[in-house]
Amino acid sequence: MENITSFLIYPSQFDLITQKKKLYLHHIMVIALQVLFVLVLIILLILFVFRISRTRKTNHLPENYSELLTEYVKFYRQLDVRGKEMFDKRVEHFLSAVKITGVNAIVEDIDRLLIAAGAIIPVYSITDWQYINLHEVLVYPGSFNMDFDQEGTDRNIAGMVGTGALQNVMILTKWQLRQGFINNNDTHNTAIHEFAHLIDKMDGTMDGVPEIILERKYVSQWKQMMETTIEQMKNYGSDIDMYGATNTVEFFAVISEYFFEQPGLLKANHPMLYEMLERIYKISG
């Protein structure tokens, strides 16, 4: 009987050991798989982050940005090599901070670059400038009709700086944006006009006095100069776009376009205005 019992016990003990071995192996395999899973996850995460940062870097400036800027932006063409490098960096930074969205319009590389150029040209000499009051630029195909707050609308609705629900939003039309840069023989540039409004708005009020960059001692002189010129424009006409005579807000934007588009002509025709704009935009004459 004892024999039979021992005979019965042996196989079951053997089974137990095999079972234990199997369990042990299974356990090891589970741990190995877990480690492998975590490793794969880490690798994927690294690749993902790397890919994102790489796309970010290349997305903001198209490969041929330098040729495009040279071809279309007179201000850029006139810069030296170091100046161009600085301009490129500022453009890249602007495009990384501000979203540009087409509304029934395809936004091409050239449009993105021209918007950034319009933003950077007026503040080029103010190296630490940031458009903290701008998050998005909406690009419309041509002139547009909207039920937006009348305060926000602008000349033939070629562009506007948003108010109310459109706070921190700028609207530009693709056609006017391009014309502003293609045509160098006039004093118009819609993008510069709208960015001048944003610069004016930065101190909290849009009044034609960009107090954030204009030294306090010149404020009353500048106000006086704007009012006098507007009166002269209304009475005698002017080579300054008559839209500037609407009010001091539009005067500042219109005269800024003139200053950056035809500086030589403004200096010759309106030396006092030119001198004040040099002060405002920190251009050393």
The nearer residue to Zn ion, 61 or 254, going by C-beta atoms, is 254
The nearer residue to Zn ion, 111 or 154, going by C-beta atoms, is 154
**Closest CA relative to residue 110, chosen from 156, 61, 45, 153:** 61
Piece of the chain touching Zn ion by CB under 5 A; list 47-55, 87-95, 154-162, 173-181: 154-162
Q: What is the DSSP letter of 172?
A: E
Locate 173 and state its tokens: 């039309």
- Shortest Å distance, C-beta 194 to Zn ion: 7
Q: CA 66 to CA 40: how far, in whole Å?
A: 40
Calculate the alpha carbon distances from 250 to 38, 58, 164, 210, 243 in Å.
61, 37, 19, 13, 7
- The H or E element that residue 170 is part of is strand 169-173
- Shortest Å distance, C-beta 67 to Zn ion: 31
Locate 8 and state its tokens: 């019965």
Q: CA 107 to CA 96: how far, in whole Å?
A: 16
Calculate the alpha carbon distances from 111 to 58, 72, 100, 161, 272 in Å.
17, 11, 9, 18, 34
Burial category of 107 from C-beta neighbours within 10 Å (exposed 0-12, middle 13-18, buried 19 and up): middle
The nearer residue to Zn ion, 254 or 266, going by C-beta atoms, is 254
Piece of the chain touching Zn ion by CB under 5 A; list 79-87, 141-149, 153-161, 221-229: 153-161
The answer for 202, left when phi > 0, alpha when psi is -120 to 50, beta otherwise, is alpha
Residue nearest to Zn ion (CB): 154
Identify the residue among 111, 154, 241, 261 touching Zn ion (CB under 5 A). Answer: 154
161 near Zn ion (CB under 5 A): no
- Shortest Å distance, C-beta 197 to Zn ion: 5
Q: Using CB under 5 A as the criterion, what x/- string covers residues 60-79 for binding Zn ion?
A: --------------------
How much of the chain is helix, strand and coil, in % rounded to 5?
65, 5, 30
- Shortest Å distance, C-beta 269 to Zn ion: 21
Q: CA 213 to CA 211: how far, in whole Å?
A: 5
Asked if residue 201 lies in contact with residue 122, where contact means CB atoms within 8 angstroms, the answer is no
The nearer residue to Zn ion, 88 or 200, going by C-beta atoms, is 200
- Shortest Å distance, C-beta 253 to Zn ion: 4
Q: Using CB under 5 A as the criterion, what x/- string covers residues 232-261 for binding Zn ion?
A: ------------------x--x--------
The nearer residue to Zn ion, 111 or 200, going by C-beta atoms, is 200
The nearer residue to Zn ion, 164 or 264, going by C-beta atoms, is 164
Residue numbers 12-71 binding Zn ion by CB under 5 A: none
- Shortest Å distance, C-beta 218 to Zn ion: 22
- The SS3 assignment for 239 reads coil
The nearer residue to Zn ion, 87 or 251, going by C-beta atoms, is 251
The nearer residue to Zn ion, 111 or 250, going by C-beta atoms, is 250
Instruction: Tell me, by CB under 5 A, how many residues bind Zn ion.
Output: 3
Contacts to Zn ion by CB under 5 A: 154, 250, 253
